[in-house]
Amino acid sequence: MNRPKLGDLLVEANLIDEVQMKIALEEQKIRGTRFGSTLLALHFIEEDVLAAFLARQLDMPCVSLHNIEIPSGVLALVPREMASELQAIPVKRDKNKLFVAMSDPLDVESIEAMEKLTGLVVSPMVAPQSTIVDSIERFYRDGALAHEEVQKAMVGAFPDLVRELEEMEVFGRQFREVNERLDRIEEALGKLIEMLEKRS
């Protein structure tokens, strides 16, 4: 992907100067954070200004995450740890394309990491960093079984059924209800086997 760097665009637009960009780059190395996050932490730019600028400059959609529902199957494509680290959250999937809200849609490494993991083409969407952080907390806690949790569930007594449920995107409350029923069935089978062993 041949995209311009965020710092260069901001300097060209006079939203930060060369000195601020150098300071931010140095701080980025020390903190180990994304460039956009570093700029915000240093108070060199407001996140709403940054999001609006990127959306306009790059002709990308600016997505509001406040009143949006993200399908559980879409969330499961990007594990919570990666979403937090990259400051990015998957929003929707359309065939082989994955739309991802990012505070820095010019972060090529993050885009490539998600494409490598999912096998899909990542299409960045702009969103303020704070809304992405809030959404990661909200959606991964309440809305879905994270990818690694699905993997753990699959080693249980009914892996084929759990895998099928995952593929059908049956998550959240319905998934927990089914899982609880499976646990009860497994427990009943265990008692039955134990009873038969005592009789023999």
Which residues have C-beta within 8 Å of that of residue 200, sequence separation ≥ 6?
A: none
Domain boundary among 144, 171, 190: 144
Residue 2, CA distances (Å) to 5, 108, 132 in order? 9, 9, 25
User: For residue 103, is it within any domain?
Assistant: yes
Please indicate, yes or no, whether residues 84 and 129 belong to a single structural domain of this protein.
yes
Top-confidence residue, 83 or 151:
83
How do residues 25-70 score in pLDDT, each as one tens digit?
A: 999 999 888 888 899 999 999 988 888 888 888 888 888 888 888 9
Please indicate, yes or no, whether residues 37 and 90 belong to a single structural domain of this protein.
no
pLDDT at 129 over 60: yes
Residue 144's pLDDT is: 45
Please indicate, yes or no, whether residues 118 and 175 belong to a single structural domain of this protein.
no
Please indicate, yes or no, whether residues 129 and 153 belong to a single structural domain of this protein.
no
d(CA 157, CA 151): 13
Residues of the domain holding 96: 72-144
pLDDT at 143 over 50: no
Domain boundary among 118, 144, 170: 144
How do residues 59-78 score in pLDDT, each as one tens digit?
A: 888 888 888 889 989 999 99
* Locus of tokens 């009860």: 184
Please indicate, yes or no, whether residues 27 and 78 belong to a single structural domain of this protein.
no
Residue 150's pLDDT is: 47
Please indicate, yes or no, whether residues 158 and 107 belong to a single structural domain of this protein.
no
- Give the residue-averaged pLDDT of 110-115: 95
Domain boundary among 58, 85, 100: 58
Top-confidence residue, 97 or 68:
97
Could you write out the DSSP letters of every residue in 146-178? -HHHHHHHTTSS-HHHHHHHHHTT--HHHHHHH
User: For residue 64, is it within any domain?
Assistant: no
Please indicate, yes or no, whether residues 18 and 53 belong to a single structural domain of this protein.
yes
Domains held by the chain: number: 3
User: For residue 189, is it within any domain?
Assistant: yes
User: For residue 1, is it within any domain?
Assistant: no
Top-confidence residue, 160 or 8:
8
Please indicate, yes or no, whether residues 103 and 84 belong to a single structural domain of this protein.
yes
d(CA 127, CA 65): 8
Backbone angles phi, psi at 85, to 5 degrees: -65, -40
User: For residue 180, is it within any domain?
Assistant: yes
* pTM, two decimal places: 0.59
Please indicate, yes or no, whether residues 48 and 29 belong to a single structural domain of this protein.
yes
Please indicate, yes or no, whether residues 135 and 104 belong to a single structural domain of this protein.
yes
Residue 74's pLDDT is: 93
How do residues 157-189 score in pLDDT, each as one tens digit?
A: 455 655 565 555 555 556 567 667 777 887 877
Please indicate, yes or no, whether residues 118 and 169 belong to a single structural domain of this protein.
no
User: For residue 22, is it within any domain?
Assistant: yes
